[in-house]
């Protein structure tokens, strides 16, 4: 049974193709200004990797901000549900999902069967998101990919009190002018994100095992600060950016099973 999921986020779009709930192929690309084009191309590239034609896929589910813009989709599902399902597939013991994407962050609590029972989402501002890190990297004149390495070299951390990206950028510029090492400033930025996510997690209530998904999960500096702040171990899958698309593909397979009577 061939199924596909496409997660159309604000910054990146990912597609996953499954055969009987096993991943055949995945593809990630930037979303850009045209969500429909990004979703279609991600799906086509995943099909090419799996040596399939799109017509062979029995069910396609779209998720993410741009989910209504994928013409090939049979239905749309919220990213909360899809990230929960994808994380549970990656580890059957997952009880809490921390997803930090380009423009939002979420903490999702699952029950014993993997169903979403509560969640907290920040989608009103860039605070604690990938975009926040991008703005901070630009202010420090470093590449986004360098933040992880520089944070690991920090001997201390510089408090960043502003969570608004605009105000925090000004604060970071001031810290640089005061002579603070960039490494310590970056560690402070990571710690400020961890504090923001920790407050969200406290409202939701955390259940182990805890998994982190989304592009920011690839930054071990943020992950380490989160672990210290929450006093837990956090699991990061090999490819944290495909969790939403994976969950969508699994839900698509469920649709097909129901259509043929289980």
Q: Look at the chain and report how many structural domains it folds into.
A: 2
Q: In the structure encoding, which two tokens stand for residue 77, read together?
A: 């599902």
Residues 192 and 176 in one domain: yes
Q: What is the pLDDT of residues 130-158, one digit of tens each?
A: 888 988 999 999 998 899 999 999 988 99
Q: Which residues contact 230 (CB under 8 A, 6 or more apart)?
A: 194, 198, 201, 206, 210
- The mean-pLDDT minimum among 9-18, 107-116, 168-177 falls in 168-177
CB 139 within 8 A of CB 188: no
Tokens of residue 260, six digits: 């043929």
Q: What is the largest CA-CA distance in the chain?
A: 67
136 and 38 in one domain?
no
* Claim to verify: residue 102 and residue 131 sit in the same structural domain: yes
| Strands lying side by side in the sheet with 2-8 | 22-30, 12-19, 2-8, 59-63, 75-76
pLDDT in tens, 197-239: 999 999 999 999 999 999 899 999 999 999 999 999 999 999 9
C-alpha 164/C-alpha 171 separation (Å) is 10
Same domain? 20 vs 121: no
Q: How far is Cα 17 from Cα 239, in angstroms, rounded to an integer?
A: 15
pTM, two decimals, is: 0.90
Same domain, 122 and 164: yes
Question: Which CATH number covers residue 61?
Answer: 3.30.420.40
Q: Is the pLDDT of residue 46 over 90?
A: yes
User: Residue 82 belongs to what H/E stretch?
Assistant: helix 79-90
pLDDT at 129: 81
> Where is 152: in which H helix or E strand?
helix 147-152
Indicate if 140 and 56 belong to the same structural domain. no
pLDDT at site 58: 95
Residue from 226, 231, 206 nearest 216 by CA: 226
* Confidence (pLDDT) at 261: 62
Q: What percent of the chain has pLDDT over 90?
A: 76
**Separation CA 227–CA 171 (nearest Å):** 25
Residues 168, 162 contacting (CB under 8 angstroms): yes
* 43 & 133 share domain: no
- Examine the domain organization and report whether 81 and 132 are in the same domain: no
Same domain? 224 vs 153: yes
Count CA atoms within 13 Å of residue 30 on its CB side: 2
Residue 176: half-sphere exposure toward Cβ, Cα within 13 Å = 16
- Shared domain for 225 and 145, answered yes or no, is yes
State mean pLDDT over 27-53: 95
Query: Among 199, 125, 193, which Cα is nearest to 165's?
Result: 125
Residue 212: in which H helix or E strand, if any?
A: strand 210-213
pLDDT value for 234: 97
* Inter-residue contact 5 to 16 (CB < 8 Å): yes
Contact 49, 30 (CB under 8 A): no
Same domain, 75 and 173: no
Q: Which domain holds residue 260?
A: 1-91+238-262
Q: What are the tokens at 74?
A: 């049979």
On whether both 85 and 99 belong to a single domain, the answer is no
pLDDT reported for residue 167: 82
**Quick one: pLDDT at residue 197?**
93
If pLDDT is split at 50, 70 and 90, which confidence band does 164 have?
confident
**Contact in structure between 217 and 223 (CB atoms under 8 Å):** yes
Strands 105-110 and 96-100: antiparallel
The distance from CA 81 to its chain's CA centroid, rounded to whole angstroms, is 13
């Amino acid at each position: 049974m061939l199924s596909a999921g496409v997660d159309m986020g604000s910054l990146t779009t990912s597609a996953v193709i499954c055969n009987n709930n096993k991943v055949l192929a995945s593809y990630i690309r930037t979303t850009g200004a045209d969500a429909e084009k990004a979703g279609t191309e991600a799906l086509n590239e995943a099909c090419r990797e799996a040596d399939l034609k799109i017509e062979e896929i029995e069910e396609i589910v779209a998720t993410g901000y741009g989910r209504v813009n994928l013409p090939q989709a049979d239905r749309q599902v919220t990213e909360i549900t899809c990230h929960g399902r994808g994380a549970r597939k990656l580890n059957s013991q997952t009880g809490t999902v921390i997803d930090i994407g380009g423009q939002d962050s979420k903490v999702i609590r699952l029950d014993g069967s993997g169903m979403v029972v509560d969640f907290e989402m920040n989608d009103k501002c860039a605070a604690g998101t990938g975009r926040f890190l991008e703005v901070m990297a630009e202010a420090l004149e470093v590449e986004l990919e360098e933040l992880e390495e520089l944070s690991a070299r920090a001997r201390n951390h510089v408090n960043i009190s502003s969570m608004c990206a605009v105000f925090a950028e000004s604060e970071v510029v001031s810290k640089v002018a005061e002579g603070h090492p960039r490494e310590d400033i970056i560690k402070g930025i990571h710690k400020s994100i961890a504090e923001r996510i920790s407050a969200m997690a406290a409202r939701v209530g955390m259940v182990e095992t805890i998994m982190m998904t989304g592009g920011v999960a690839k930054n071990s500096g943020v992950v380490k600060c989160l672990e210290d702040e929450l006093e837990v171990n956090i699991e990061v899958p090999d490819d944290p950016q495909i969790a939403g698309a994976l969950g969508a593909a699994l839900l698509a397979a469920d649709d097909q099973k129901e259509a043929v009577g289980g």
